[in-house]
Amino acid sequence: MTETPQTRTDAPTLSAQYQPGEVEGRRYEGWVSAGHFRGDASSDKPPFTIVIPPPNVTGSLHVGHALDHTIQDTLVRRRRMQGYEALWLPGMDHAGIATQNVVERQLAAEGLSRHDLGREKFVERVWQWKAESGGAILGQMRRLGDSVDWERERFTMDEGLSRAVQTIFKRLYDGGLIYRAERIINWCPRCLTALSDIEVDHTDDDGELVSIRYSDEVVVATTRAETMLGDTAVAVNPDDERYKHLIGTEVELPLTGRRIPIVADEHVDPTFGTGMVKVTPAHDPNDFEIGQRHGLPSLTIMDERGVITAHGPFQGLDRFEARPAIVAALRAQGLIVAEKRPYVHAVGHCSRCKTTVEPRLSLQWFVNTGPLAKAAGDAVRDGRTRIEPPELAKRYFNWVDNMHDWCISRQLWWGHRIPVWYGPDGEVVCVGPDEQPPSGDGWRQDEDVLDTWFSSALWPFSTLGWPDATPDLAKFYPTSVLVTGYDILFFWVARMMMFGLYAMDGKQPFDVVALHGIVRDQHGKKMSKSFGNVVDPLDWIDRFGADATRFTLARGANPGSDVAVSEEWVQGSRNFCNKLWNATRFALMNGAHTEGELPASLSTVDRWILSRLQHVVAEVDQQLEGFEIAKACDTLYHFAWDDVCDWYVELVKPVLATADGDATRRVLGHVLDQLLRLLHPVMPFVTEELWTALTKGKTVVTAAWPVADQALVDDAAEAELATVQRVVTEIRRFRSDQGLRPGQRVTARLGGLAGAGIAAHEPLIRSLVRLDEPGDGFAATATLAVTGAIGVELDTRGTIDVAAERARLEKDRAAAQKEADQCRAKLGNPAFVDKAPEQVVGKIKDRLAAAEADLARIVAALGALPAS
C-alpha cells in the first residue's frame, strides 16, 4: 500500500486544546435563541415532562442543586433526542421566611423595621428586592447548561399560581379539609412564626436531664425544667403496679403552690425513667394529646419570644435564663434528685435562623391530611406512581400512613395571604379567586400567610395553567419524572402527591419519583462550613468547565445513594473532556467523516469497534431507563477512553496513514458520532462543539438518539480482538517490568498466532509493542507465555542492564514478601481477627492479596531475565 498522509484540507478545525469558557456561553445562548428547549403543546410527539423543584428566590447554585439539575437535564436531553416533546419547566419558590428575613435585614441596616413601613409598603419592598436581586440562581442554571424552557418560567407568587392557591384553598375549605384550631406547632421565637416540619433541623445537642421530686412518691425527669411552670398533671401507665394507688390523687407542683392530678395514660412508657411523666399540654405535642384525652387545662407560660409570662419570680426571664434559675430554686428546696450533664438529645432548630424551636400551643390553620394522605399512599401502591429506587417506597409509606395534620399558616407578611375574612358578628367567609371579599365596617382578612410548601405542592399542575383547562395541562400532565433528594421525600413529595391527586381527579402528579442522595466529600463526610469541605460548583465550572462538573456529579448518581465528590475527580473529568477533544481532532485531521452508509466490507478491527458500540448503546439505554446514571457514565467513560481512544484509534493509525483507509475513516466517524450523542445529555457543551465539527450538523441537541443495531454485533471479531488485546497487554506488561523505555525496540519471535486465529494481526501487534522481526543472530534471552497456544521469545541483549534490573526486582520482591508476611501474621492472630472491626480485617486481607499478586509478578519477571 502506498503511504500517503490523509489530513483533510477541508476538515473543520478544532483548537489544539478545549477551552470551556470559549464554548459554553456561546453554545447555550445559541440553543436558547434557536428554541431547542421549547415544549410545544400542539405537537403530536409523546410528551415527557419534568417540572424543576423550584429553588428559593434567595438561593444560589450549591452542589446539591448541581447534582439534581444534572440528573434532570440528562433525562430531558435524552428524551428530546429520542423524539419526545420534552418540557423541562423552570421557576422559583418565593421562600416566605427566608425572603422576609433578607429584606428585614436590609431594613435593619437602615434603622427600620417592617412595622415602620406597614404591610403594604413592606410587601412592595420585597417585590422590589426580588426584581433587583432575587433569582440569581436562574443565571447560574444557565452556566450549568440546564435545557429548560425559559419561556415558561414561573414563580410561586405570580398571578396564575396565586389564583391556583386561592382555588385549592377554597375547595379544601368547602370540603372540610381545611380548618382552624388550637394545636401544638413548631414555633420560632426569632422569626415569630409557625414552622413546618421541613423547616426544622434536628441536631444532637448537649443539654441536661434533671429529675425533680414533686412528692415522696412522685419523681419526674425533664430536659426543659422551665416548662414545669405549665404542668397541669403527672401521668403514669394504667398497668404500672407501682403507681396504681396514686391514680386520681393530687400532688403539689413545686414552686407554684398549685395542686395537679395524677392521671393514667397508655402513652406513658413504664420502663423509661421513673415511669412518671410531667404533663405540660401547652408546650409539648405528646402532652397536648394527653391533655385532650383527660380534659386538662393548657397553661401557656411563655410569650411568642420565649419569655416566661407565668406570675412569680421567673416572670420576664428568657426561657434559657429561666431554666438554670428554676433548677437552682428546686435544688435549694432539696427537690433535685439527680442531674445529668451533658445529656445529648435531639433539639429542633429553625432552618433559617438556627434558633431553638419551641413547641407552642397556637391558633393556626391546618389541612386535614387523613383522606389526602391515604390517596397519596394508594397511588404508589397501585402503580400510578413508581418510586426509584423501589426500596425507598417503604419510607414513603411510613410517612403518608402516619401523617399528622399539616399546619399551613405562617405569621409573615410575605406570601399568599389566607383568603378568609372575619365579620363583626363572628362570621367567617372563605373567598375564591373569582369572588369578591365581603366589605363594610368590621370585616377584616386573616393576617397570616400560607406555608411556602402549600403553593409549591401545586407546582406540577399550577405551572401548567391549572385551574384552567389549558393545552399545556392536557399535553404535559401528569409529569413524567420528579427528580429530588430522598431527604425531602416525606415533605414536598408527599404534599405534591396529596394536592395533585385531589385537584386533578385522581391523576398522579408524576409517573416516577427518582430519588438521589446528598453530596458528600471524598471521605463520605456531609458537607458543612464548619468542616471546611463545602464545594461551590460555580468555582468548579469556572476552573474545569460545566461538563467536567456535571460528569463528576453524574458519575456518582446511583439511585437513592449519596454522592461522593472531590476536586481531584473533577480534574479527572476535565481530562476526559480533553481526551474526547483530542480524539475527535485527530479523527478530523485524518479524514474521519459521517457521510454515506457504512461500508459493507470492513476489517476485523472495524467490525470489532462497531460490535462493541452496539453493546454500549444497549447497556446505556438500559441503565438510563433504570435511572442508573452513574453506571451509564461509567460505561461510556470506559468505552470512550479504553475501547475507542486507547485501542481502536491506536489500532487503526497505520491504516489511516494509507490511501486504503476510507472504510476505517467512515467507521471512525460513525463511532465518534454515536459516542458524542450518547454523552451529550451529561456533557452537553463539549459534545456539541465536537459533534457539529465532525458531522457538519446543526446541533446534537435534536440529533437522533442511538439505537443498537444487532446486525452489527460480531462475536467472532470481538473474540479475535480480545486475543490481540491480551497479547499486546502481556507484552507491554513484560516491557514495563523489565524497565524498557516505551520507544525502545526489541527483537522478538511470536509463536502460536496462527493457531489462535490472529496471524493476520502480527504486523499490528509488532507495531503496537515495538517488536522487530528476528534476523540472523537472534537469541531468545527471555520467554513469555501469553496463553497456552501463544508464546513470545525476546532477544533482550543490549536492551536491559540485567544486573541492575535483577537487583531492582530483588529489592521489590523483599518488600512484597515483608508486606505479605506482616499481613499473614495479623490474620493468623486470633486476638486481632476476633476484636478488629470487620472492615479493618477486610483491608488486611486485601493488602495480603495485593502483596501476593506483586510477588507472583516479580518472580515471573525475574524468571524472564536472561542469565547474567
Q: Is the pLDDT confidence value at 864 over 80? A: no
- Taking every pair of Cα atoms in the chain, the longest distance, rounded to a whole number of angstroms, is 118
Q: Best-predicted range by mean pLDDT among 44-53, 94-103, 348-357? A: 44-53
Q: Is 37 helix (H, G, I), strand (E, B) or coil?
A: coil
Q: Is the pLDDT of residue 489 over 70?
A: no
Residue 12: pLDDT band with limits 50, 70, 90: low
**What confidence category does residue 442 fall into, taking pLDDT thresholds of 50, 70 and 90?**
very high
Exposed / middle / buried, residue 341 (Cβ in 10 Å: 0-12, 13-18, 19+): exposed
- The pLDDT-based confidence of 66 (bands split at 50, 70, 90) is very high
For residue 491, the 8-state DSSP code is I
**H or E element at residue 735:** helix 715-737
Q: Which fold has domain 193-359?
A: Isoleucyl-tRNA Synthetase; domain 2 (3.90.740)
Lowest mean pLDDT among 536-540, 754-758, 805-809: 805-809
- What 3 state SS string does 309-335 have? CCCCCCCCCEHHHHHHHHHHHHHHCCC
Q: What was the pLDDT predicted at 11?
A: 57
Q: Are strands 85-89 and 47-51 parallel, antiparallel or unpaired?
A: parallel
Asked whether the bond before 238 is cis by omega within 30 degrees of 0, the reply is: no
Helix (H, G, I), strand (E, B) or coil at 567: helix
Type of residue at 605: V
CATH topology of domain 563-713: Isoleucyl-tRNA Synthetase; Domain 1 (1.10.730)
Q: What angle do CA 757, 759, 765 make, to 5 degrees?
A: 115
Residues composing the chain:
868
- Give me the mean pLDDT over the 680-688 stretch: 98
For residues 416-426, give the mean pLDDT.
96
- 185: its cell numbers: 406547632
The Cβ of residue 124 has, within 10 Å, a number of other Cβ atoms equal to 12
For residues 215-224, give the mean pLDDT: 93
**743 pLDDT above the threshold of 90:** no
Decide if pLDDT at 798 tops 50. Answer: yes
The pLDDT score that the predictor gives to residue 4 is: 37
pLDDT of residue 530: 62
Contact 11, 591 (CB under 8 A): yes
Instruction: Check the annotation: does 579 bind a ligand.
Output: no
Judged by phi (left if over 0) then psi (alpha if -120 to 50, else beta), residue 135 lies in: left
| pLDDT class of 532 with cuts at 50, 70, 90 | confident
Residue 2 in this model has a pLDDT that exceeds 50: no
Q: Provide mean pLDDT across the span 672-685.
A: 98
Residue 775 has pLDDT above 70, yes or no: yes
Q: Which amino acid is at 378?
A: D
Once rounded to an integer, what is the mean pLDDT over residues 839-853?
A: 88
| Percentage of the residues of the chain whose pLDDT score is greater than 90 | 78
* Helix-strand-coil split of the chain, %, nearest 5: 45, 20, 35
Q: How confident is the model at residue 6, as a pLDDT? A: 44
pLDDT band at 789 (very low <50, low <70, confident <90, very high): confident
CA-to-CA separations, 469 to 321, 372, 466, 645, in angstroms, rounded:
57, 23, 6, 53
Helix (H) or strand (E) holding 168: helix 159-174
Terminal alpha carbon distance of the chain: 43
Residues 189, 190, 192: CA angle, nearest 5 degrees = 65
What is the spatial distance between Cα 167 and Cα 162, in angstroms, rounded to a whole number? 9
At 867, is the pLDDT very low, low, confident or very high (cuts 50, 70, 90)? low
Element (DSSP H or E) covering residue 30: helix 20-33
Cell of 485: 433528594
Residue 233, beta-bridge partner list? 279
Angle, nearest 10°, between helix axes 838-864 and 715-737? 80
Q: Which is nearest to 407 in space by CA: 455, 456, 369? A: 369
In 414-509, DSSP assigns E strands to 420-422, 428-430, 444-445, 449-450, 479-485
Q: Does position 7 have pLDDT exceeding 60, yes or no?
A: no
Query: 278-287, 637-646, 751-760, 783-792 — which is least confidently predicted?
Result: 783-792
Q: pLDDT at position 268, please?
A: 94
pLDDT value of residue 138 = 94
Please tell me the distance from the alpha carbon of residue 748 to that of residue 796, in angstroms, as a whole number: 9
Query: Which neighbouring-strand residues pair with 748?
Result: 794
- Sheet of strand 259-264, all strands in order from the earlier edge strand to the far edge: 250-252, 259-264, 233-236, 276-279
Per DSSP, helices labelled H in 382-507 are 393-400, 452-456, 459-462, 471-476, 494-503
- The three-state secondary structure class of 421 is strand
- SS3 per-residue string spanning 494-559: HHHHHHHHHHCCCCCCEEEEEEECCEEECCCCECCCCCCCCCCHHHHHHHHCHHHHHHHHHCCCCC
The pLDDT value given to residue 824:
94
Contact 432, 170 (CB under 8 A): yes
Whether 400 contacts 372, CB under 8 Å: no
Average pLDDT on 512-533 reads 81
- The whole-number average pLDDT for the span 15-39 is 96
This prediction's pTM:
0.86
Domain locations along the chain: 193-359, 563-713, 730-864
Q: Is the CB of residue 556 less than 8 Å from the CB of residue 516?
A: no
Q: Indicate the average pLDDT of the chain.
A: 92
Residue 802 has pLDDT above 80, yes or no: no
Average pLDDT, integer, range 608-623: 98
Is residue 124 predicted with pLDDT exceeding 50?
A: yes
pLDDT in tens, 245-268: 999 999 999 999 999 999 999 999
207-230 average pLDDT score: 93
Residue of 438, 459, 378 whose CA lies nearest to 161: 459
The average pLDDT across 296-319 equals 94
Contact 308, 226 (CB under 8 A): yes
Q: Between residues 657 and 150, which one has the greater pLDDT? A: 150
Asked if pLDDT for residue 523 goes beyond 90, the answer is no
